[in-house]
Structure 1
Amino acid sequence: MTEQGSTTVMVVDDHPMWRDGVSRDLEAAGFSVVATADSVAAAGQRARATQPDVVLMDMQLPDGNGADATTAVLEAVPQANVLVLSASSERDDVLDAVKAGACGYLVKSASAAELIEAVEATAAGQAVFTPGLAGLVLGEYRRMSNEPPAPDGPQLPSLTPRETEVLRLVAKGLSAKQIARRLDLSHRTVENHVQATLRKLQLSNRIELTRYAIEQGLD
């Protein structure tokens, strides 16, 4: 688990009171808020200057949207993990954010405790979604993936049934501990399955693993 004190965060939101309140909650929990921004342009500039680990991203900004800002942030800091925190749970907003590179999506009705937990999970490379939104994303990518691959296209690596089962749960945003409880396995066994799957798919982390699962329509 990532230590909160070592995790730097940037908060992007155009409402000063909300932005300041979220920043205070994060600081009180031990995170280091290194920057705030209120627009797409400012998000890219301040991300480049401060190199945050996690970016909390609103979807409604005066000069664009959260997807635009996510693109700008990841161009400036490719290793950053973007977690959307928005009042909107509209399908298009959620899908646009994920396609732009966000690794999670939380609605603003989440409690302060849920927000802190989500930022901690995001910093650790996990995908975090408000319940129901992960299914929306998976369903959309399943629809987009219905066409069979071309005969000369790349063949998918062979995963064991258990690896596929763990991959589905990773894609839904569950942590290794939650997956272990769900499948009645040890935490170490789940981590071993995750690492084996990463090696087979030649991926680097859980965020890439989640995107792979979404693209393949796994649920």
Structure 2
Amino acid sequence: MIRVLVVDDQALLRAGLRMILDNAGDMEVVGEATDGAQVTAMVAETAPDVVLMDIRMPDVDGVAATRLVRARTGGPKVLVLTTFDLDEYVYAALRAGASGFILKDTLAADLLSAIRAVARGDAIVAPAVTRRLIERHIGTGDDPLPRSGRELGALTEREREVLTLVARGLSNAEIAGRLFLTEGTVKGHVSKILAKLGLRDRVQAVVLAYECGLIRAGA
């Protein structure tokens, strides 16, 4: 069973999410929180696998709560709920450690698939969507950017090439076609890139590629 903590300040939405998740068969809602300020204590109390996190809440918002959750050793994964796919808070939530985001009007089946993916350790944000977020926020002064690019020195030429294509929004299959490789080989390269750079998933890899200047926003 996947243990899920639901965090949202709207009671009606929490009730709807609980109904969907409890009927999934492989998920259990272990708690509900109405504000980010409650999240840390509830994570300690309920030990969820995934926190379904609203991004906009009145006191402690989802970005700050995500940062606190992901700072815990062995803490749960965070899947952000948002109203708009270019919400100005989503980029900050990804940087804070969220494994991705979904829209509040998503279909129930897609919501369940996203939770399962995040519980497995995958990132569920499509790279092209992540790229749009980054292009909107890189260089706005909201973060201490850019990085120097020294982080990329550990990568081979092929790995840098793969990372560039990942950051441009290509899937593993598309990268394989572009570079005349098998999809399994591309997956292996992506895994090595994440390990060498100490990154959690390809979302963080895309962010790092932009911050290091490997590709430029809007390019």
- Say yes or no: TM over 0.5: yes
> Which residue in 1 is equivalent to 2:207?
214
What amino acid is aligned across from residue 158 of structure 1 in structure 2?
Answer: L
CA distance in 1, matches of 2:167, 2:74: 22
Q: Which runs of 5 or more structure 2 residues have no equivalent in the other structure?
A: none
> Which residue in 2 is equivalent to 1:116?
112
Quickly say closer, same or farther: Cα 1:147–1:55, change in 2 above 3 A.
closer
SS of aligned partner of 2:15: helix
1:92 equivalenced with 2:85 (yes/no): no
* CA-CA distance at 1:57 after TM superposition: 0.5
* CA-CA distance at 1:205 after TM superposition: 3.9
Which of 64, 69, 72 is residue 73 of structure 1 equivalent to?
69
How many residues are paired up? 205
* CA-CA distance at 1:169 after TM superposition: 3.2
* CA-CA distance at 1:129 after TM superposition: 2.5
Quickly say closer, same or farther: Cα 1:162–1:46, change in 2 above 3 A.
same
Quickly say closer, same or farther: Cα 1:171–1:14, change in 2 above 3 A.
farther
SS of aligned partner of 1:63: coil
* CA-CA distance at 1:83 after TM superposition: 0.9
SS of aligned partner of 2:153: coil
SS of aligned partner of 1:138: helix
Q: Which runs of 5 or more structure 1 residues have no equivalent in the other structure?
A: none
CA distance in 2, matches of 1:170, 1:124: 22
> Which residue in 2 is equivalent to 1:27?
22
TM-score (norm 1): 0.75
Q: Which moved more, 1:181-190 or 1:83-92?
A: 181-190
TM-score (norm 2): 0.75
User: Residues 150-161 of structure 1: matches in 2 within 5 Å?
Assistant: 156-161=153-158
* CA-CA distance at 1:34 after TM superposition: 1.5
What amino acid is aligned across from residue 169 of structure 1 in structure 2?
Answer: V
SS of aligned partner of 1:24: helix
Which of 26, 37, 43 is residue 41 of structure 1 equivalent to?
37
| Structure 1 stretches of 4+ moved >6 Å | none
* CA-CA distance at 1:81 after TM superposition: 1.2
User: Residues 160-171 of structure 1: matches in 2 within 5 Å?
Assistant: 160-161=157-158, 164-165=161-162, 168-169=165-166
Quickly say closer, same or farther: Cα 1:187–1:53, change in 2 above 3 A.
farther
Quickly say closer, same or farther: Cα 1:155–1:186, change in 2 above 3 A.
closer
* CA-CA distance at 1:10 after TM superposition: 0.9
Identical columns (%): 28
Paired residues of 1:166 and 1:179 also in contact (CA < 8 A): no
User: Residues 48-197 of structure 1: matches in 2 within 5 Å?
Assistant: 48-76=44-72, 78-129=74-125, 133-140=129-136, 143=139, 149=148, 156-161=153-158, 164-165=161-162, 168-169=165-166, 172=169, 179-180=172-173, 183-184=176-177, 186-197=182-193
* CA-CA distance at 1:60 after TM superposition: 1.9
CA distance in 2, matches of 1:88, 1:95: 12
